[in-house]
Amino acid sequence: MRLLTAALAVTAAVTLTGAAWNPGVTLTGADRNSAGTLTGADRNSAGTLTPIAGADRLVAPLDVDPACPAKIEIGMRSDAKKPQYATMNVEVDPPLSASRTMVSSYLPPGYELGAKLLVAVPPGTKEGEYGLRLRTPSRTLSVPVEVVPVDRLDNGGNLALRRPVTASSQHTNANYPPCSVADGDRSSNGWAGGNGWNDATGRAWPDTVAVALGGTRQISRVDLYTLDTERYPASAVGLRDWDVQAQVGGQWQTVAQVRGNTAGNVRSDFTPVGADAVRIVALASNGANDYTRIIEVEVR
């Protein structure tokens, strides 16, 4: 498979492939029965550019760390018979803002272009439904953006989702925001681009990252995802040793310990406690370049 990459004027890269990019939604004509609506010429028309979104709806929480806005995969597919310079405009209803206003690239026939879009919700925004539109010259894809308070998010039982995060330090060599460990994205693919936390004190321990739960919650399980890709496997660069602590009555209590880990994901179960925060105390990583690298922390 041929694969071309190019950086646009945002933190994310774009990916151009000749294989089918699975956006997670099925696009049809104007009579599409889903939350996202595709309008314009018939999709089989010669020479059209079809906009694509990775979901038919985007949920954007209110009052979260601006370093971790809502994100969605977007892109476009060329149905043309000849190569072309393709452009797709990105529009979002104010006061929301998007990380890019345009996606543009050379696009061979049958290729798809994928990119990450960040959608920020400024303080004071009213909750409700807003619009995101992806426009090519012949097609428009509309994706609803639902702005809701964190307390009303469908968290799937993950009490840490989109809650405030604090860390002992943050590496500034790339984009490693602490808030990304509670953004719901377990994948290591966005490492150094806003998905995953890296401390700033190599070979110095302990490092800590804590998630406030928004009040006292009954918890009995914490799942930790450390950096784990084909290029950077957890056995070489992931977190090896750590304590799981719960804040009970204003005091931190160790409720679980992990030692000698080489996996990308570890589940820690413990006796239920009523806690208002959870903290990971990192003690060692695998490999010589000893930093703490955490992708996601889930609390249940």
| Residues whose CB is less than 8 angstroms from the CB of residue 62 and which lie 6 or more positions away in sequence, other chains included | 121, 125, 127, 147, 148, 149, 150
Side-chain-side CA neighbours of 3 within 13 Å: the count stands at: 7
Decide if 3-148 and 165-299 have a common fold: no
- Two structure tokens written together for 18: 């000749």
How high is the pLDDT of residue 288? Answer: 76
Tokens 């105390």, located at residue: 281
Every domain of the chain and the residues it spans: 3-148, 165-299
Fold for 3-148, please state it: Immunoglobulin-like (2.60.40)
Of the two residues 224 and 34, the one the predictor is more confident about is 224
Task: Give 10-59 pLDDT, tens digit per residue.
Answer: 333 556 655 334 333 333 333 333 346 767 654 444 468 999 999 999 99
Q: Which fold has domain 165-299?
A: Jelly Rolls (2.60.120)
Q: Which residues pair with 133 in a beta bridge?
A: 91, 142
Which residues neighbour 4 within 8 Å (Cβ) at sequence distance 6 or greater?
15, 16, 17
Q: Which residues contact 249 (CB under 8 A, 6 or more apart)?
A: none
pLDDT tens-place string over residues 77-123: 999 889 999 999 999 999 999 999 999 999 999 999 999 999 999 99
For residue 197, give the DSSP letter.
Answer: E
